[in-house]
C-alpha cells in the first residue's frame, strides 16, 4: 500500500504582517469606494503573517509579465532542490528510487516543466515519468497525492515525488482594484513543499481511497483572467456559501467504506480562509481542535495554495502523528470548482497495516468550499 511520507516545507525570509497589509491597502487605495470592505475582509482572513520571495517594495512594482515569470523560474530553481532533498531524506530514498515526479504550481509557467529541470539537475533517472499540474490552483496538492496514489496502485513497487511550488506574490496586480483581488493581496503567501509517496514501506499516511469531483457550472467562481500583465485572480461572491454541500458529500464518499467522516482521528484540509474550517466544524460536527494544523498554516503563512495541505501535514508529523491505524482525511479544494479527497490511515513502518480491504472505487461527488478567500 502506498504511504505518504513526511513533507518538507520552505518559506522565504521576507515577512509581511496583516497590520502592514492593511496599512498598505489604505495608503495605496485611499479613494477606493469599497476600501473599508476590503480592509474588513483582509482583517478577517485569520492570516497574521505571510512570506514573500521578494521584498515588499519590489513586490509592489510590476515590471511586466515577462519579468515576473522570469522571477518565478529563477526562484523555483533556487529553492526547490533543497526542499526535494529533505523530502527524499524523510522517505529514506534517493533520486534514483523515484519513478514519477508530480509538479504542481499555479503561480508561474515553464515549458518544459520544472520536472525536466529536476531530472536533469538532481540525479533522477531519465526514465522518470513527469506529471506537471498547472491549473488546479489550491486543489492541486490533493490532486497530486491522489495521482501519486493511483500510480503506486498500478505499479506497487514505485515511488512518487510531489513538489508544490507557489509564489503567489508574483501574481500581485497593482492596477486591479476589484475587492476580490484586494482581498487576495492580504491572503496568499509563498512557499515550496515536497513529499514522497512510497509504494512500499515508509511512515506516514497510508493512502486507502481517493475521490475527485468537479462541481457543475462553477467555472467562473474561482479563476484567473490571463491578461498582458499576467494572471488576475477572480473570485465570485457565491464561493463562501458552498460548505454546507461539501460536508455531506465528504460523508457520502466515506460511508460506503464504513468510515464516519465525523469520527476520524485526523483532518488535513486546505484552508483558504477561516470560514472553511469553521463551517467544516459545524457541518461535520467535529471540534475546532481537529483543524488546528490547517488553521496554524493559515495564521502563520497565509493561503499558500497547493502547499497548504503539505504544510498542515508536516505540522501533524511534528506533533507526533497518530496511533498506528488511526483514520484520517486529506482534502484540497480549488477552482473548477474541484475537490480532491483522500482517506488514509496512519502507518508506522514495520508494523502491521490497518488498511481497509481494497476495491475499485468510482469518483464520488464532492463539493468544495472556500471562506472569504479561496483556492
The residues assigned a catalytic role are 138
* Burial group, residue 35, by CB count within 10 angstroms (0-12, 13-18, 19+): middle
The candidate with the shortest Cα–Cα distance to 105, out of 280, 271, 304, is 304
Residue 194 three-state SS: strand
Distances (CA, A) of 155 to 138, 152, 160, 209: 27, 5, 11, 16
Query: Are 245 and 367 a contacting pair, CB within 8 Å?
Result: yes
Cα 369 vs. chain centroid, distance in angstroms? 14
Q: Please state, as a whole number, how many other Cβ atoms lie within 10 Å of the Cβ of residue 121.
A: 12
Q: d(Cα 146, Cα 157) in Å, to the nearest integer?
A: 17
Adjacent-strand bridge partners of 212: 340
Q: How many residues does the chain have?
A: 375
Q: d(Cα 375, Cα 371) in Å, to the nearest integer?
A: 9
Helices 140-154 and 308-318, interaxial angle, to 10°?
70
DSSP state of 13: S
Adjacent-strand bridge partners of 54: none
Q: Quick one: cell of 75?
A: 526562484
Amino acid at each position: 500500500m502506498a504511504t505518504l511520507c513526511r513533507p518538507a516545507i520552505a518559506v522565504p525570509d521576507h515577512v509581511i504582517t496583516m497590520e502592514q497589509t492593511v496599512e498598505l491597502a489604505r495608503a495605496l487605495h485611499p479613494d477606493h469606494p469599497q476600501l473599508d470592505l476590503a480592509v474588513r475582509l483582509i482583517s478577517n482572513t485569520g492570516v497574521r503573517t505571510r512570506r514573500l520571495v521578494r521584498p515588499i517594495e519590489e513586490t509592489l512594482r510590476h515590471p511586466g509579465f515577462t519579468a515576473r515569470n522570469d522571477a518565478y523560474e529563477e526562484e523555483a530553481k533556487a529553492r526547490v532542490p533543497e526542499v526535494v532533498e529533505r523530502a527524499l531524506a524523510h522517505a529514506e530514498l534517493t533520486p534514483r528510487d523515484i519513478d514519477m515526479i508530480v509538479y504542481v504550481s499555479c503561480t508561474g509557467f515553464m515549458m518544459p516543466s520544472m520536472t525536466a529541470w529536476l531530472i536533469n539537475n538532481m540525479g533522477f533517472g531519465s526514465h522518470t515519468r513527469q506529471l506537471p499540474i498547472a491549473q488546479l490552483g489550491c486543489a492541486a496538492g490533493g490532486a497530486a497525492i491522489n495521482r501519486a496514489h493511483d500510480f503506486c496502485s498500478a505499479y506497487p513497487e514505485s515511488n512518487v515525488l510531489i513538489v508544490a511550488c507557489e509564489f503567489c506574490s508574483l501574481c500581485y496586480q497593482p492596477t486591479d482594484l476589484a475587492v476580490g483581488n484586494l482581498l487576495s493581496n492580504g491572503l496568499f503567501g509563498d512557499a515550496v513543499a515536497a513529499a514522497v509517496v512510497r509504494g512500499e514501506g515508509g511512515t506516514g499516511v497510508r493512502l486507502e481511497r481517493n475521490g475527485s469531483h468537479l462541481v457543475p457550472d462553477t467555472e467562473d467562481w474561482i479563476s484567473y483572467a490571463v491578461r498582458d500583465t499576467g494572471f488576475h485572480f477572480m473570485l465570485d461572491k457565491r464561493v463562501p456559501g458552498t460548505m454546507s454541500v461539501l460536508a455531506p458529500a465528504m460523508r457520502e464518499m466515506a460511508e460506503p467504506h464504513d468510515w464516519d467522516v465525523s469520527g476520524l482521528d485526523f483532518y488535513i484540509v486546505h484552508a483558504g480562509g477561516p470560514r472553511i474550517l469553521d463551517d467544516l466544524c459545524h457541518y461535520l460536527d467535529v471540534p475546532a481542535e481537529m483543524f488546528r494544523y490547517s488553521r496554524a498554516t493559515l495564521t502563520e503563512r497565509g493561503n499558500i495554495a497547493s502547499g497548504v495541505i503539505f504544510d498542515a501535514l508536516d505540522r501533524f508529523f511534528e506533533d507526533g502523528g497518530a496511533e498506528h491505524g488511526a483514520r484520517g482525511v486529506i482534502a484540497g479544494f480549488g477552482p473548477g470548482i474541484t475537490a480532491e479527497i483522500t482517506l488514509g490511515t496512519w502507518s508506522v513502518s514495520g508494523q502491521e497495516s490497518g488498511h481497509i480491504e481494497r476495491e475499485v472505487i468510482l469518483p464520488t461527488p464532492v463539493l468544495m468550499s472556500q471562506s472569504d478567500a479561496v483556492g
